[in-house]
Amino acid sequence: MSKKSGKVYVVGHKNPDTDSICSAIAYAYLKKQVTGEEYVARRAGLINEETAYVLNRFGVDAPPLLQNVKLQVKDIDIHKIDGVDPQFSIKDTWEKMKENNVKTIPVLKDEELVGVISTGDIATSYMDVYDNRVLSAAKTQYRNIIKTLDGTLVTGNEHGKFTKGKVTIGASNPDLMERFIEKDDLVILGNRYESQACAVDIDASCLVICQNAEVPDELIKKAEEQSIVIIRTPHDTFTAARLINQSIPVKYFMTKMPLTTFQLTDYVDDIKDVMTKKKFRDFPILDRHGRFRGFISRRRFLDVSKKKVILVDHNEKSQAVDGIEEAEIVEIVDHHRLGNIETVGPVFFRNQPVGCTATIIYQMYQEAGVKISKTIAGLLCSAIISDTLLFRSPTCTPVDEKTAKKLARIAEIDLEQLAGEMFRAGSNLQGKSAEEICFQDFKQFTVNDVVFGVGQINSMNKEELAEIREKLTPHLPKVLKAHNLQMIYFMLTDILDESTELLCCGAGARERVLEAFDLREDTDPIILKGVVSRKKQLIPTLVSFMQQ
């Protein structure tokens, strides 16, 4: 069986913004069109109000959440195989194993795993041939015996079970038979009437008549009165005796629960040790409802490949989806400073000094000769509006503005009108908790072992920004402690005034900002005139100061 197909996840950063989401959607579509392979957009966090408005405006579903890219059992090539019922005979089970070329098969009752049967277990069943009571100990159904012996039922209940006595061969004369055959035994017989009658007189449970020999009607009638089962088989006595143990139900020889099983959602890293210590060939996989979904073998486990990921709009490990160190990063498309993402091998890395990742994605559509639909154009245009604050941000370049205007024409939208609607939706924080507001647009950075976070809210409404300040100020110390950060900065950005009020939390946070921006010590509140960009204005200034 081949490995799983190489699905590639296209994902932006945690606490995703409009650029992160829209660029992921557009780039996944472009890659699929160019390669014909499976590229899927994902998000690494909750959608904010602005982005939700954009997606709704252009009729696009939000990408599913990708909580982490750690390898899970469901990512491994799971060998799917139909199981057998606990009453299935050893013979039929062996035939099914040969047909499917497997060494282990699940035993299922109403989709629930009750055990597994392996070739080793079947070998054990053959070794137990010397135990002449194993058939009754296993409570073998008569219909299993009939099928295994290619027989036909002469009389009796085929659904009944052989539960007492031993298996014996009635090849002796009646006098000798009476010495070793007991009530409730199963007796294998030939065509001798005297032996057949003797077995009935002793009140055996079952008579197996070999070579399709005839049984007199009066003997059949007597057997019916005594509830004795009579089976006729075409095989001779030796063959019937050899085959009959194969009618035993698999539940008797299977390895029973509790077994070493794994869930579809288990992480590969977490099960490595278990697989190493347990010397089984195959391990059963269960879904969250406890239903059997297949086996993974040691070989498949060793052959598994990492999840493939394309990162858009970031290249910092702290901003990437959890488990990124265990994934295979195949591409990075970004417009931020170079971060600390490490890759195992060389990757396609496109990083341009523009105001928005969507601008780069547009260029890649042009280079690939792929036509941009109205929907994709609307998403990319919205991303540029968001990241450049409709060209007001210092991060905005002439390329961003030119691209946005081209995309607006394709999408048939008015830039000013769309921007106003987006910013109103993004700053509408009614009913949101301080925690939700804080992490609507929040990124984490590390400089010289100092770990700090920077959040930002953009608004056209001064009163709304004041309300947010009142709500966030007492909450930031809790965030600092809960997320093991040393400092937090939060930007309350007034789009129309093109300025930012900066909230500071943590030891030395305020002092660093005052020195970095050369402000007076008694500055309160901290208003940064002309500062609207986290990426191009606040972060570079802080990083430069902290690296001194």
Rg (CA), the chain: 37
Q: What is the Cα–Cα distance from 56 to 382, expressed in whole angstroms?
A: 12
Residue 303, pLDDT score = 62
Q: What confidence tier does 267 reach under pLDDT thresholds 50, 70, 90?
A: confident
Question: What's the confidence (pLDDT) of residue 406?
Answer: 97
Q: Is residue 132 very low, low, confident or very high in pLDDT (cuts 50, 70, 90)? A: confident
Instruction: Tell me the pLDDT band of 126, cut-offs 50, 70 and 90.
Output: confident
Give the residue, 134 or 304, on which the prediction is more confident: 134
Structure tokens belonging to residue 66: 């990708």
What does the block give as tokens for 303?
């052959």
Whether 401 shows a pLDDT value over 60: the answer reads yes
Query: Chain-wide mean pLDDT for the chain?
Result: 90
Tokens of 142: 């008569």
Side-chain-facing half-sphere of 239: CA atoms under 13 Å: 12
pLDDT, position 4:
46
CB 421: neighbour CB atoms within 10 A? 16
For residue 167, give the DSSP letter: E
The single residue listed with the structure tokens 């099983």 is 261
Q: How many residues does the chain have?
A: 548
Task: Write out pLDDT tens, residues 63-116.
Answer: 999 988 888 888 777 888 888 999 999 999 999 999 988 888 999 988 889 999
Is the pLDDT reported for residue 171 higher than 80? no
CA–CA–CA angle 308, 309, 312 (5° rounding): 165
Summarised one tens digit per residue, pLDDT across range 28-43 is 999 999 999 999 999 9
Tens-digit pLDDT profile for residues 431-487: 788 998 898 889 899 888 899 999 998 887 888 899 899 999 999 999 999 999 999
> Is the pLDDT reported for residue 59 higher than 90?
yes
Q: Count CB atoms within 10 A of the CB of residue 518.
A: 7
Angle between helices 398-411 and 357-368 (to 10 degrees): 70
Is the pLDDT score of 128 beyond 70?
no
Question: pLDDT tens, 296-328?
Answer: 876 666 667 788 999 999 998 888 898 888 888
Please, is 46 exposed, middle or buried when counting C-beta atoms within 10 Å of its C-beta (0-12, 13-18, 19+)? middle
Burial class of residue 30 in the structure, from the number of CB atoms within 10 Å of its CB (0-12 exposed, 13-18 middle, 19+ buried): buried
* Token pair belonging to 348: 């396609």
Name the band, by pLDDT with cuts 50, 70 and 90, for residue 529: very high
Q: How far is CA 113 from the centre of its chain?
A: 20
d(CA 212, CA 422): 86
User: Cβ neighbours of residue 218 under 8 Å, at least 6 residues apart?
Assistant: none
CB 9, CB 27: distance < 8 Å: no
- Give Cα separations from 58 to 54, 125, 374 (angstroms): 6, 65, 9
| Confidence check: pLDDT of 240 > 70 | yes
pLDDT at 26 over 60: yes
Q: Summarize the confidence of residues 355-373 as an average pLDDT.
A: 97
Q: Are 24 and 10 in contact (CB under 8 A)?
A: yes
| Residue whose C-alpha is closest to residue 71's, from 260, 343, 264 | 264
Prediction pTM value: 0.63
| pLDDT band of 1, cuts 50, 70, 90 | very low
Rounded to whole angstroms, how far apart are CA atoms 142 and 144? 5
DSSP 8-state assignment for residue 266: -
Backbone angles phi, psi at 110, to 5 degrees: 55, 45
Task: Assess whether pLDDT exceeds 90 at residue 227.
Answer: yes
- β-bridge partners, 209: 189, 232
Collapse the DSSP code of 303 into the 3-class scheme (helix H, G, I; strand E, B; otherwise coil) and give the result. helix
Token digits of residue 301: 């486990």
Alpha carbon distance 9, 25 (integer Å): 10
| H-run or E-run covering 144 | helix 142-148
pLDDT digits (tens, 9 = 90+) for 497-520: 889 999 999 999 999 999 999 999
pLDDT of residue 152: 96
Using DSSP bridges, classify how beta strands 328-334 and 348-351 pair: parallel, antiparallel or unpaired. Answer: parallel
**Confidence at 2, pLDDT banded by 50, 70, 90:** very low
Q: Are 303 and 77 in contact (CB under 8 A)?
A: yes
539-546 and 509-516 are packed helices; what angle lies between their axes, rounded to 10 degrees?
100
Orientation angle between helical segments 90-100 and 119-127, nearest 10 degrees = 150
Local structure of 47: helix, strand or coil: coil
Residue whose structure tokens are 């939390």: 505
**How far, in Å, are 69, 72, 265, 369 from residue 307 at the CA level?**
6, 9, 14, 29
| Local confidence band at 3 (pLDDT 50, 70, 90 cut-offs) | very low
Higher per-residue confidence, 129 vs 493? 493
Domains of the chain: 8-71+307-426 (3.90.1640.10), 90-252 (3.40.1390.20), 434-546 (3.10.310.20)
Collapse the DSSP code of 437 into the 3-class scheme (helix H, G, I; strand E, B; otherwise coil) and give the result. helix
- Residue 158 near residue 142 (C-beta atoms within 8 A): yes
Highest mean pLDDT among 52-66, 124-138, 276-290 belongs to 52-66
Q: With beta carbons less than 8 A apart as the criterion, state whether 483 and 447 touch.
A: no
The pLDDT value given to residue 395: 87
Three-state SS for 192-230 is: CHHHHHHHHHHCCCEEEEHHHCCCCHHHHHHHHHCCCEE
- Region of 76 on the Ramachandran plot (φ > 0 left; ψ -120 to 50 alpha; else beta): beta
Cβ burial, residue 84 (10 Å; 0-12/13-18/19+)? buried
Residue partners of 548: CB distance under 8 A and separation at least 6:
none
Percent of the chain with pLDDT over 70: 97
DSSP state letter for 249: B
Q: What is the Cα–Cα distance from 110 to 277, expressed in whole angstroms? A: 31
